[in-house]
Structure formats: C-alpha cells, structure tokens
Amino acid sequence: MTTENPTALNLLSEIRPRDLPQPRQAAMALIQACTRADVTTDELAELACQDATLTAELLRVVNTPFFGLGREVTSVKRAVTVLGNRALRNLGLCLAVRDALRPDAISGLDPAHHWEDALRRATSARLLAKALGQDADECFTLGLLQDCGLLVMFMRWPERLEELPEILAADPDNRYALEQQHFGVTHDQVAAYLARQWGLPEEIAALLDQHHHCGTAAPEEIETRCRILYCADWLAAVYSVEDKTHVIDRCRKLLRKHFDFDSHTADQLLIAVPETVEEAAAALSLTIPQQSDFQDILREANLRLSEENLSYQELTWRLEQTLRERDQLAAELDREIEMAREIQRSLLPPPLDDALIVGVNVPARDLSGDFYDFFRLPDGKIFFNLGDVSGKGMNAALLMAKTTSLFRCLGKRIHDPAQLLTQINDEICETTIRGMFVTMIAGLYDPSRGTIRIANAGHPPALLFRGTKLRQSFGAQAPPLGIVPGMDFPAGEVSLDGGTLVIVSDGITEAKRIDGQALGVKGLVEMITTSESQAPRDRVERIVQQLRATPEALHDDMTILMVGNHHGQG
C-alpha cells in the first residue's frame, strides 16, 4: 500500500480528527450496516428512516433518471429491497460524501468547480465500468471519493493554498508529482486514510490508495477497478486541463493499454461524459457550470495542434521525404515481387521435345496460386500434375511452391499417383495454415501404351477428348490436399486411344467470355473441339488469349494442361 511510506505515515498522523470532514451519523450507520452479511431489509429500512433528511434524499435520488430504477419507488423499505445492500451502500455513500465535503470552506476554491471535476471523475469511472461489465454504481462512488483527499490536504495545510491553481490545472500525473513536491503526501493516501477513519470497507480504502499504482493491486477484480479509476482521472482531465491535445492522446493510449479500447471507443466515452455529469449533478442536487461538448474540445485541440505544428515549408519537406521513401519502398517491393515471379516461373517445367504434354499458367495477380509440372521417368513414363491453392497472393504462392516441390521430389521415388497424393497430403497437413488447401490432379502417362493412371484430389474433372468429341470426364474421388491427414486417394486408369486429356483450374471455367458470361465447362469443350486441328502449344495459348481478351480483369489464376496425342482421331 502506498501509505506504508514512512514520510507519508508521519504526515498523515498530523491530520487530526477535527481536520477531517464528518458525514451524518445516520448515513454512516446505514453505510456500515450494508456491509454486514447478516443485516436484514427491515434493519436497513429502519436505519434509513432515523434521519428524515436522509430518508427524503434517498427516495428523491433513487427516483432520478441517473440512479433510477425505471419505476417509481415510494417507500424506503421498497428502495432497500429493490436496490440491494451494495447499491444502497454506494448511494448512501454518495450522499454522505456530498454532505461531508465542504469545498466552500477552502479559500480560493470554487465549490462548483470542485464538484464539476469530482463528477467528471465519477461519471467517467461509471462509463468505463459499464463498458467493462463492472459495478458501475460502485465505480461512480469511488470516482466521487477519488480526489476528496486533496480537499483534506488544503484543509489541514491552508498555508499551501497558493499552490492550489497550479495543482488544479495539471494533468493527473503532474498533479500527483506536485502534491508530493508541495505536501510530501498525495491525495490517494489521504483519501484512503479518510475512508478508514470513516469506517468504510477496507476494499474501498485499498482502491482509493492504489488507483495511481496500477499493476500492484490484487486480485484481478481490484486491479481492474484501480485501472478504471486511474483512466477516469485522465478522461475527466480532458475537460479541465489546458493542454487538451496531450491529454486526449494520453487517454487513448491508456484505454488501449489497459482495456484494448480503440480511439473511436475512447472518443465515444469522452462524448458521453458531459451529459452524464449534468445528470449526476441534478441527481445529487449539485450546482455546476454548463458542460462543454467534446467535439468543441476536440476542435480546439486540433486547432492548437496545427498552430504548434511544423511550418508549412517544413511540412512540405517532410511530405516530399515521405513520398521518396514510399517510392523507394515500392521499388524495392517490385523488385522482390519480380524475383518471386522469376522463382515461380523457374518451377514450371521446360517443354518436352515431343510435345506430349503442354501447359500454360496465367496469374491473376503478381504471383500465382495455380501450378502444373511434368517430368519424364527413366522408364519413359511421364509424371504430371495440375493444382490450385485456395486463396491468392503471397500465401497461396508460397503453398504452391511447397506443393509443386513436394510433387517433383517425392514423384521421383513414388511412381503411383494415389500413393504420391497421400504422401503430399500428409506433408501439407503438418504445416499448412488452417483454412488453406490444395486441389490437384496427378497422373502417370505411359506414351508406349497410351494409358494414364490418374488420381483427383478435389479438383474440377479432367476431360478426355478424341477428335472433336468429349468422351469421358474424371471427377474428384477425394477431398483437397491439406484438409484431412491420412486420406486415401483412389486412382483409375485411362486409355487415351489417340485422344487428349485436358485438365484446367477453375480460373478457366469461371473466366468471362466476350459476352460477359462465364465460360463454363460447355464453353471450354467448344474451345477445345474447335481448335482440334492446331498444334498443342497453339491450342492452349489460343484458349488463354481468348479469355484474356475480355475487358474484365482476371479474378483468378488460369492454368491449362493437355496430355497425350493431341491430334488423335475419334
């Protein structure tokens, strides 16, 4: 606790009972009774009725919009029943603080100004508590008590009154340092001392004692309320200190640090403070000046910031420097992306001399998530694949590079497409980001027999053409790679009989034609059959060129692969 400081303890011992403001005995009896576990509703009602003024004030305040219950309460017993012990204690304590603290007894201190600041802290604490699911009424009460120690300090040491304007004008941290400098003791230490002298629960005294020392209190609930009180002090300061730009910025940073509130949420809390202060003042019958609107304060802060900011010439120079840095970063990024494109292009296979397999890949963005590959085995068979990674951009490109590398590396020792996809799937499942997957068709082509052993992992069907006819399609028999480890991927055998197997990514079938309609499988079949007489490379490039000729930008990567005797007869 902060009051364990020996110097502070010595100074607190100088505060005599007659230096302390004293609440009504009836109010304190009611507050203390509320903390007893065995107290009954009848006992609390009887205590409240012992003081006619207290009775009248309780009924008046509990029926105000600020402390109200949504329906009229006409008896003290009903108020006690509806409120509950804790809320009744908080309400009684608010009234006790209002009646006991007399700022008009301090020369040079405007009572309206004091209550205005106190209510700003109290309502800020209440708004924060509501946003965090804490006890809003208790935090309001704590906020009201938060700076009462400052009043007691000037009552006890009136010779320091000349320091009052400087202290009141400072922000919370500077005010705290000034109190330590001028008094050797601070308002939180005195407030905790006052709470204990009044016989308030130790929890309240501890919170008042610790609110400038967040991070040292326990348990978590106490720590959260300490942070609420500390942040409430800064929220209130927005409306009282001169350097509002600094305080607004400090508020936003504190609320982000302690409660993960963004700037918009912080500003919404500040906007709510003036109206809530006026409601609280009316409920407690306190006279305060008309409250300033936060938007006016924000405009004033921005104006002051602009006046104190850099000159126009210096600002222009900084802007030009920033633009140059931006251009340098953009150029560096372009170089890195071009290097990535070169690496991706290097992953594509070189053309086969006999053109038994041809392919084309067109990225929708700088980098592609589609890929294809093929390579010849020592026995003359050709392993090939075409895949499509979910998503686009850098993440998809990296997963594409990993998958195609796995295919080429593992395919040189695993010569069965089904087993190869099983192995690649397990490897991807171990490290892939959740939500990303790869569709793939893998096949092993035997040119001497004119057969293909093929496996499809969640990819659009492969299409078998003979001459100008679509003869067969081979759809997915298993989910994409990277979703379920340990999956089996069935494989089947295809006899080309002089035909051509065409595999595309969904970027081909979903691409727009000149008329704005999606190409679809039907459109793809038409393109392939009408180009049957052309050379293999010309066929795939012609299809891609026709799809790129549309005015609409590509929305997905486009990849197409043709396998087999591209000029076979039907």
CA dist., res. 531 & res. 537, Å (int): 11
- Residue 445 has a pLDDT of 94
CA dist., res. 291 & res. 301, Å (int): 17
The H-or-E segment that residue 65 falls in is none
494 - beta bridge partners?
452
All residues at 6 or more sequence positions from 251 whose CB lies less than 8 Å from its CB, including other chains: 231, 234, 235, 238, 266, 270
* pLDDT above 80 (res 276): yes
Tell me if 265 sits within 8 A of 255, measured CB to CB. yes
- Residue 561 has a pLDDT of 92
* pLDDT above 60 (res 234): yes
With bands split at pLDDT 50, 70 and 90, how would you rate the model's confidence at 569? Answer: very low
Q: Which of 386-400, 437-451, 555-569 has the lowest mean pLDDT?
A: 555-569
* pLDDT above 60 (res 17): no
Residue range 352-564, CATH number: 3.60.40.10
- Residue 308 has a pLDDT of 57
- Residue 243 has a pLDDT of 82
Q: What are the tens digits of pLDDT across the range 115-156?
A: 888 888 888 998 999 999 988 888 888 888 888 888 888 887
With bands split at pLDDT 50, 70 and 90, how would you rate the model's confidence at 451? Answer: very high
Q: Do domains 109-292 and 352-564 have the same CATH topology?
A: no
- Residue 218 has a pLDDT of 60
All residues at 6 or more sequence positions from 421 whose CB lies less than 8 Å from its CB, including other chains: 440, 442, 455, 457, 478, 481, 489
Q: What are the tens digits of pLDDT across the range 357-403?
A: 998 888 877 777 788 999 999 999 999 999 998 877 777 888 888 88
186: exposed, middle or buried (Cβ count in 10 Å: 0-12, 13-18, 19+): buried
The three-point CA angle 551-552-555 to 5° equals 150
Percent of the chain with pLDDT over 70: 88
All residues at 6 or more sequence positions from 17 whose CB lies less than 8 Å from its CB, including other chains: 197
Higher pLDDT, 340 or 408: 408
Answer yes or no: CATH 1.20.1250.20 is held by domain 109-292: no
Q: Cα-flanking dihedrals φ and ψ of residue 362, to 5°?
A: -125, 110
- Residue 462 has a pLDDT of 92
- Residue 568 has a pLDDT of 43
416: exposed, middle or buried (Cβ count in 10 Å: 0-12, 13-18, 19+): middle
Q: What are the tens digits of pLDDT across the range 501-531?
A: 999 988 888 888 777 788 888 888 888 888 7
* pLDDT above 60 (res 4): no
Mean pLDDT across 440-448: 93
* Other beta carbons within 10 Å of 48: 24
All residues at 6 or more sequence positions from 359 whose CB lies less than 8 Å from its CB, including other chains: 348, 349, 372, 374, 386, 540, 559, 560, 561, 562
What residue ranges do the domains of the chain occupy? 17-101, 109-292, 303-347, 352-564
With bands split at pLDDT 50, 70 and 90, how would you rate the model's confidence at 68? Answer: low
Buried b (16+ CB within 10 A) or exposed e, 220-235: eeebbbbbbbbbbbbb
Q: What are the tens digits of pLDDT across the range 473-497?
A: 899 989 999 999 999 999 999 999 8
Q: Sign of dihedral through CA atoms 371, 375, 381, 383?
A: negative
464: exposed, middle or buried (Cβ count in 10 Å: 0-12, 13-18, 19+): buried
- Residue 156 has a pLDDT of 79
